[in-house]
Structure formats: C-alpha cells, structure tokens
Structure 1
Amino acid sequence: MLLPPKMQAARFRLIQERPYLASALWALQTVEKPGLGTMAVDRRWRLYYDPAVENIWSIEEIMGILYHQTLHMLRDHANRLVNFPPDIANIAADAEINDDILAEKIKLPEETITPEKLGLPPKLLAEEYAEKIMEKQNTSSAWNSPTANDQKEGNIPQPAAGRCGSIATGQPEPWELPDTDKETPGISSAEQEIIRKEVATAIKAEASKDIGAVPAHLTRWAEEKLKPKINWRKELASVVRNAAATISGMVDYSYSRPSRRQSTIQNVVLPFLRQPTPSVAVVVDTSGSMSDNMLSQALAEIDGILKSMGLREGIKYIACDYNVHVVDKITNIKQINLKGGGGTNMEKGIEAAAKLKPRPNICVVLTDGYTSWPDNPPPKMKIIIGLINNEDVEVPRWAKKVVIKE
C-alpha cells in the first residue's frame, strides 16, 4: 500500500539525505489505520499510519518520525526491551534514540521524550534508562511517565513520545496485525538481520568516502554490527599452517613465475613456492534455538571470513537446521538466506560440505551447540566449530572449538 503523498515525499527526502538507510526504509510494509492518530511500526517492520496526521505534521516532522522509527528497527529494541513493561520500554528506547538524533538538528514533533525531560543523564543505553525509570517510579509516587500525561490530556500519541508500536517494546499493541497475516506478513527476524547488515555495510562505505558524512552514533552502530568476535584472518592462516599441509601441502611449487633464487643458477628454471589459499565452507545453524542475536553474530562472523578470504574467492554457504536448506557460493552477506527454524542436526550440514566439489579444505560451523555430531570427521577437511554464547558445550576431539561471545 502506498503512503499518502506527504509521507511518500518525506520518505524520498530521507533516502536522498541518508541513502545508507534505503534498505530499511523500503523494507517497511505499510498499513493504513484510520483513527490511530499517529505513525507506528510493529516488530515485523509494518508501518501503521493514520492518514489524518498529514494535516498535523510537516514533511520535516514526518521525516524525523521515519528516521526515529528506523533507528528502533536497526537497534533491535523489540528484542532488547521485551522483558520491561511496554510503556517503560518505549520511553527508554525513545530516550536513547532522541538523545542522538536531536543532536543532528532533526525536527520532531514537540512532545518528544529526551533524557533531560526525564531528569536522567544523556548517552545511556535504553536498558539503563528503563532501569532508572523503574527506580523513579518506585521512589516517587508523584512521577508520571510522559505517556500517562498524554493519555490524561487527550493528546495525540506521537512517535518519539512513547507511542511507537511493538518495534520499541517487543510486545504487540491491540491494533497491530497478527504475525500470521497473509496479506501483509511483514519481515521475518532473519530477513531483518540481513537488512541491518546491509545498512551497516552502506554506512561504513559512506563514512569511508566522506569523513563526517554519517552521524557518529550510526558509524559506531555499524562498526559494532559488522565486527566479528574472531580474528578470522589469523584463525584461517593458523589452520592453513597446521592442517592444510596434510590436505594439499603447506606450500606448493609453481612455474607461473620464476623463483627469487633463479639468478644464482643458469640453464635451469626454478619454480617458486606458493602458499595455497584455503577453500572454506560455512555451515550456519538456522534452527529454532538460534536467537536473532545469535544469527546476527553468525552473520558478523561470516562477514569476517569473507573479508579474510577476499571477495574474489568467496565461500560456500550452507544453511542447516535439521535438514540442509541452502547450499550456495557467496561473496557478500547480502546473498545469505537464513532459511530454517526447525530442529537441529549439524551432522547433515557437515556432510553437505564434505560432498561439495571440490571439497573445501576448511568447514566452519556456527551454532549454539545443541546438536549431535558425526562420529568421525570427513577426510581431508578441517572442522572449526564456532559456539555462539555457549562455551560449556563439548565438541568432538577432531574439531577445533572457538567460543563466540556477543
């Protein structure tokens, strides 16, 4: 469904000014909701809007609201704050966001939550604001949340003022569509993670072209989002040194260019020694036990492996829960399909990697560890098991265990 003209114009202008947000903004599925009195987003990235707000807010204010909601989406407040009371979660999330975007001179409606208005210090995380708000409620019976004041005075429940939808709280509002709605299904959590990575990549690319072109808070977010916890360049080099020697030789002779010692010997062409580049397959656990945060970390690790291998080389990617769903060669995390959601059997993922032709030298398995393993390792293939947030799980002795903590 198309947005009304003013809202459509606001989205276009926001994309023009901040092109790195385009993937997230175009992912929004729109739902007209007369009588809602506001614009809000749910946890499946569906944008609800009351057409009447076109007569209330300027294009600049609508741009600010869309930017605000996009930051809820990128910062994953729905998962981070789901265990707090929804009104407190929304206020805390808004305080975290507005603290940053008002510093950019972004225009928002007047009733905007800020740390200053809450009597709280700036630059805190939403979880910290939520804890401090709850402390205030417990120690002062006179303290009212801004949302409670809005309800008493009959004001329009504005985004950025504690009325943003389940995108900020993780808890559905009565007017939100069910997750099973077929006409407007929204975006799955796996797809959301891929879009977040795509936005983070675009932010880093924009920031590298023009220092200062991207707000500092977005640059910090993108760096953290894309930062693998493992130094895969070092890890893969170590595997080549320790394992690839038995697979294809630590070094191999090649006549594609002469040896550096050629000048010392006449009439004989000496080969040079080259170190082979390992071929890598990555098996990602896409079972139901893998949370959104775990999948996000898995994507960050894959990004690290890709950068270590080089875009030209790429890797073989396998998505596996109880069964193998995807086997593909990828050179970019945008190409990843996180299909799955069922039980867990990483044996099948490793078997799929072993059947690839040519067989990879190295197979990296990214999982929470709640799976069975093959009794014996595949021949001529080194296995690295990346355990995400689960250092206590035992892995087979023939595999290298690496713990990945968020």
Structure 2
Amino acid sequence: MTGPPAGNRPTGLPEGPRDRPAALDRTKLLAARFRAAQDRPYLATALFSITVVESHQVPTMGVDRRWRCYVSPEFVDRTPVPHLAGVWIHEVAHLLRDHHGRADRLPVGQRHDHHRVNVAQDCEINDDLVTDGVALPADRIEPATFGLPDGRTFEQYLPLLPPEVTGGVDCGSGAHGLDRPWEHGATAGVGAVEVQAIRRDTARQVRSHLRSRGTVPAGWQRWATELLEPRVDWRRALTGAVREAAAWASGAVDYTYHRPSRRSSAMRGVVMPSLRQPVPRVAVVVDTSGSMGTPQLAAALAEVSGVLRAVGIGGNRVTVLSCDAAVHVVQAVHTVGEVQLAGGGGTDLRVGVEAALRVRPHIVVVLTDGYTPWPAEPLVSTRVVAGLIGADAPLPPSWITSVTIDD
C-alpha cells in the first residue's frame, strides 16, 4: 500500500494520489472508541488511556506494552464503526488482563509461537464479547471456532488448540509479548504505575456497574474479583507464619547451669549460669474429623513438613497429634510425612491443643476446616498458627495466626 518504487515513477512529476498511502480517518476511529465507552462505561477509563499511532505496517489494530494502539488506516476505512468499537474493546481487554505479562510467564515450550498464544488469548476475550453482544468482524476467533468450551483462560486454551493453529493473528506485544516491527514508540505511552491504577479503577467500575445494572460478562467479573481480591498463596503464607513463630521462639532465652558461664572463673566460689537459646519445639494438631478431606490434609501436611525442615526443626522436636473430638494418636516424628492419622468423628480441637501443651511446645500448628471450638484465652508461652483448609473456613480468635489453605 506504499505505491511503486520511486525508480518506476517518471522523474520531475508530482506524486499521484494513487501513490499516497491512505490517511487515517481519526474521526471514524475515535467515534468508534467513544461508542465503545458509551456501550461499556466500565471500560471508559482504560479506553481513553490508549494512545493512537497510525501505522501502515500493522495488519489491523494492535497494542504494545505501553498502551499505544497501532492502527492501519486501510482497516479503519473498510470496517464499520460498530465493528471498530468491538475491536477497541477487544484490544483494551488484552491490556487490562495483562496478557503480555502472563505470556512472559508461560513455560518456554508454550511461548515459542506468539501467533498461537495470541489465538488462545483471543479465545479468552471473545467468548465474553460475543456473549455480551459486542459487534466483532466476521473473521473473529472464539472458543467455538475450535469446538472448545467458553469461560477458560488463555493458559488453559493454549494446549487445547489444534496443532495446525499457527500464524495469521497479531494483536501486538501488548497481547503476546513479542515486540513487533511497527512498534516504534513514537509517543511516551503509559507507565507501569499508571497501568496498575487504570486496572484497579476499571475493576472497581466493573463491580459498580454490576451492582447497578447486572450486565457485566462473567469473564470481566472474575477478572475484577481476582484483581481487587487477589488470592494469597497459602503455602507462602503458612511458611511465613511458622517462620515468624519459630523466630519468636528462638529469640527466647533462659539460664542454665548445664554449661556454667565463663565469667564464673572471675568470681571465686560462685557458679554463674549461662544463657541458652532453645531450639523451638513444635506440635502439629491435625483435625481428622469426618468433615476433613484427605487430599487437603495430605497437601497441608506435606507443606508443614517442608516448613519445619526449612526452619531447622526436626528430630524428636516435632510432635503430631491426630484429633477429632478426642486425641487418637500422639507421635514424635522426624518429619511430618511419617504421620499416621486416625479419627473421623466430631470436632473439638480444644482437647488437641490441650494435649499438645503437655509437650511444652513453642509453636502449635493446627490444621483444620475451622468448624471447631477454640481455647477461650490466649496461650501464655506458645504461639498458635491455624491452617484453615477451605475458602469458607470460619476464622479462629484474633490471637491465633490464621492462614487459609484453599486449593
């Protein structure tokens, strides 16, 4: 579309109209963006944060990581305004859902074909748009194109795509993460801090729109929830809680006469005690009542085993108690993986905690679904960490450090 080479044109003659590339119809393009913002007001802030860059290299429209949208004038000329509005919504979805950041985190074997990644991303976006009645060009890609179900993420769609799917789709580095030749960066774009602010504002607008009208697609609802209420990695949280409790216990000091102080030699006839720093003793109380699921318990126990190894607690300094409404098994173990669980009745972990205190632990870790009475008063010299299995587990008293374990 750039015309014949200059050497094929008669010298001295002005450039003809057929030789000039089509100019971008910005009025039409911006009218389409305005329509998209009117139809989907929760996306307005994000839509108007995008900078338009005219390009004759980009096939249609594409975005980069800095929220610049590269637009083909020829594509704008041949595309009706309603479909252009749909493309605006599609492109801003790539940016809001952080597709380029997520693509960077794909396993190496899955990100080698950026076109294929882009197809999977389009499947994630367009199922919502089609369901929501957004007008899109006829050659759009959606899960139904490949006989796949709606409502999945692009990471889930990617391995499900037929092997022959490759090439032909390119929404820019703002989607698949690979820099494109037309992304020359003529304008400053949007910075990383501002991007996060735009995403959070849009997520709040999604929720507000949902409360007032109830017409937000399920994909946008999930995205807003994940952004505003990010799920905590329970393994890291549980590790941190046990590490903190272990550090607190290790910081405790006491006097002992088993190894007299070296200063005793300066004081004839007086034996002075030395300070010692105890290795933390840990008791793990495992809820084995009938409401507990075996897979969750196994995962939690394996993680606590790793935590205890990481903080240097082992040998006979770990006691595991299996408890429902009564204590069934008490074991001194080298690793939590040696534990044998028993029970299956009702739940009252107060008896488990009480039994755990008999071994004078510095830390008590309780693994439970939360449906249990708890001790009424804080423990004086023992830290309690509760691993609550299940997203809806009731919270323990505030003096207990709680971590939700939700797989």
Compute the TM-score of the two structures, normalised by the length of structure 2: 0.48
Compute the TM-score of the two structures, normalised by the length of structure 1: 0.48
Greater CA radius of gyration, 1 or 2? 2
